[in-house]
Structure 1
Amino acid sequence: MVRRLYKLWPLALLLLLAGCSTTTKDGGIRLIDPKNGIWDRFFVGPLSEFLKFIADITGGAYGISILIVTIIVRFLVLPLTLKQQKSSKAMQALQPELAKIKEKYKDEPQKQQEETMKLFTSNNVNPMAGCFPIFIQMPVLIALYHAIFRTPEIRAHEFLWLQLGTPDPWVLPIIAALTTFLQQKLMPKQQMQQMGAMQTIMLIFPVMIFFMSRSFPAALPLYWIYSNIFTIIQNFFIYRDKGTTPIVVTATETTSPAKKKSGSNNSKNGKSAKKPSK
């Protein structure tokens, strides 16, 4: 169940980003107000002020400010991403053994669960380890989305041919969709196979991004493009090392120290017992 929820996180993130919490009841954009609660005060507000600060340094270029802040935020959550990928790799390596356990104890659910936990323990794998980094990253990334969407100075700014507060009908949506598709295309084959039926949903993402980008202010697809390019480069370095697969220790291979010690003592006693007979 946990693994299924883990695979659905991109869809959950997309739905949250498309939520109505950024707008007022009359359809207007809700301004950032620290008095509104913890969300605006500690997450959205500071990121909005940081965007303004970087824009001031870069001569008021909010398009560059979004790029720099996106890179900084993504680097800050990079350790969590690496931890998530490491956990994912470990889980992939255990799949053959998990399949064997499932087949061997298909009529004994309790025994199947016990053997599965033994396998995780013997390989120092925590099945929940891949979920926590994602749930920690999500509030930060969603807060950055809100900060970009709800900062008035960004909506009033022009960058290249773009008016960041109004939708761009074609160019940005196409680039956003293409970079989303490329980001998913460059995922490891093993990870895509592990996702199973989710592959179809993942392929729909570029189409969803395209239509959302056509209706959202240009600042948002610009942010998505920056983020996608960062992810593409990040995944290139994470997955380019296709070296050794983690060594899997099966539950049956592990022997308790007491048994090993006992076996060792018995063998010594056996040897010493033979000596007097000579």
Structure 2
Amino acid sequence: MENKEGTFYSFFVKPMDSLLHFFADKFNGSYGLAIILITVLIRLVLMPLMLKNYKAQQEMKVKMDALRPEMEDIQKRMKEAREKNLPKEEQMKIQQEMMGLYSKHGVNPLNMGCLPLLIQMPFIMGLYFAILYSPDVKTHPFLWFSLGEPDIIMMLLAGLVYFVQARVSLWTMPEQQKQQMKMFIYMSPIMIMFISFKAMAALPLYWAVGGLLLIFQTYLGRKFYYKEVTAANVDLTEVKEDVQKIEEELEEDIKKADDKKKK
């Protein structure tokens, strides 16, 4: 059932429907080319935000890679504390050292840069429903497939493009995040192929074109913002001093807490 009412339809579906028909008229009725052009426009609009995100990720990568020796030392001590069943206060102290180090140097390991993905979702859904609600688009043939019917080849192409895109996206991530994100290299294309298996071929067409543009954007981000990780990027002497200072502060806090308990 078509729902052509509400805020989402008015702000996203209806404009996408108008754009689809407008560009299709310019391309002699080709809705496939219209979808490709709309995809390019969406990526161009999001490009400044994406590049800003790549810059922030690269700065985070430099910091985390430079801090890695100290972080690995803290993680090793945390593991040993658990294995030796040391008091929870001692384990908490070591964990707080890590948090203090992150805070001191402005490192946020959970910052995965999801904002650009979230921003584009309404546009993707708007385009999807604009195609769904348009009989002309659903029955339109493009290349070897119909835009309104599932297509195995487009499903595989979209999955392949996003597999490459996921691999390329690792360029801008710190080593620790690379290890955590490896599973997403396979999860992302698998999810896209799973959805595309029964979805209209227009959707994997959008994903395939969008994925190629994402690869290009990642290349631009690497070209403009790539930095070699060196000791000059982060003062390692200062880092060691910070860790020592944090340890001293935590020991003092624990001592004060113990004194209060005794009283």
Q: Same fold (TM over 0.5)?
A: yes
What is residue 99 of structure 2 aligned with on the other side? 113
Gaps of 5+ in 1: 1-29, 254-278
Structure 1, 156-165 or 196-205: larger mean CA deviation: 196-205
Higher fraction of helix: 2
Aligned 8 A contact 2:58 2:172 in 1: no
Secondary structure class of the residue paired with 2:104: helix
| TM-score normalised by structure 2 residue count | 0.69
Aligned 8 A contact 1:149 1:220 in 2: no
Q: 2:129 & 2:69 partners in 1: Cα distance?
A: 42
The higher-RCO structure (CA 8 Å, 6+ apart) is 2
Aligned 8 A contact 1:167 1:215 in 2: yes
2:183 to 191, 200, 204: 200
Q: 1:215 & 1:63 partners in 2: Cα distance?
A: 18
What is residue 53 of structure 1 aligned with on the other side? 22
1:143 to 122, 126, 130: 126
* Root mean square deviation, CA, Å: 3.2
What is residue 238 of structure 1 aligned with on the other side? 221
Q: How far did residue 50 of structure 1 move?
A: 1.2
Q: How far did residue 248 of structure 1 move?
A: 2.5
Q: 1:94 & 1:233 partners in 2: Cα distance?
A: 25
What is residue 273 of structure 1 aligned with on the other side? none
**1:63 has 2:32 as partner:** yes
Aligned 8 A contact 1:154 1:219 in 2: no
Q: 1:126 & 1:180 partners in 2: Cα distance?
A: 24
Spell out, residue by residue over 1:74-126, the C-alpha distance to the aligned partner (whole angstroms, 9 max, x if none). Answer: 100111111111111111112142662574495424454333222118xxx89
Structure 1, 233-242 or 38-47: larger mean CA deviation: 233-242
Secondary structure class of the residue paired with 1:94: helix
| TM-score normalised by structure 1 residue count | 0.66
Q: 1:249 & 1:43 partners in 2: Cα distance?
A: 48
Q: 1:149 & 1:192 partners in 2: Cα distance?
A: 41
Secondary structure class of the residue paired with 2:105: helix
Query: Structure 2 counterpart of 1:55, which letter?
Result: A
Aligned 8 A contact 2:172 2:222 in 1: no
Gaps of 5+ in 2: 79-90, 240-263
Aligned 8 A contact 2:30 2:142 in 1: yes
What is residue 50 of structure 2 aligned with on the other side? 81
**1:31 has 2:2 as partner:** yes
Secondary structure class of the residue paired with 2:38: helix
Secondary structure class of the residue paired with 2:49: helix
**1:100 has 2:100 as partner:** no
Return closer, same or farther for 1:211/1:117 CA change in 2, 3 Å cut-off.
Answer: closer
> Where does structure 1 differ by over 6 angstroms across 4 or more consecutive aligned residues?
none
Aligned residues: 219
Aligned 8 A contact 1:98 1:116 in 2: no
Q: 1:200 & 1:114 partners in 2: Cα distance?
A: 29
Q: 1:222 & 1:68 partners in 2: Cα distance?
A: 11
Return closer, same or farther for 1:152/1:113 CA change in 2, 3 Å cut-off.
Answer: same
Query: Structure 2 counterpart of 1:215, which letter?
Result: K
What is residue 165 of structure 1 aligned with on the other side? 148
Q: 1:57 & 1:164 partners in 2: Cα distance?
A: 18
Aligned 8 A contact 1:51 1:65 in 2: yes
**1:156 has 2:135 as partner:** no
What is residue 209 of structure 2 aligned with on the other side? 226
Q: 1:128 & 1:178 partners in 2: Cα distance?
A: 26
Return closer, same or farther for 1:129/1:220 CA change in 2, 3 Å cut-off.
Answer: closer
**1:178 has 2:147 as partner:** no
Aligned 8 A contact 1:102 1:112 in 2: no
Aligned 8 A contact 1:119 1:249 in 2: no
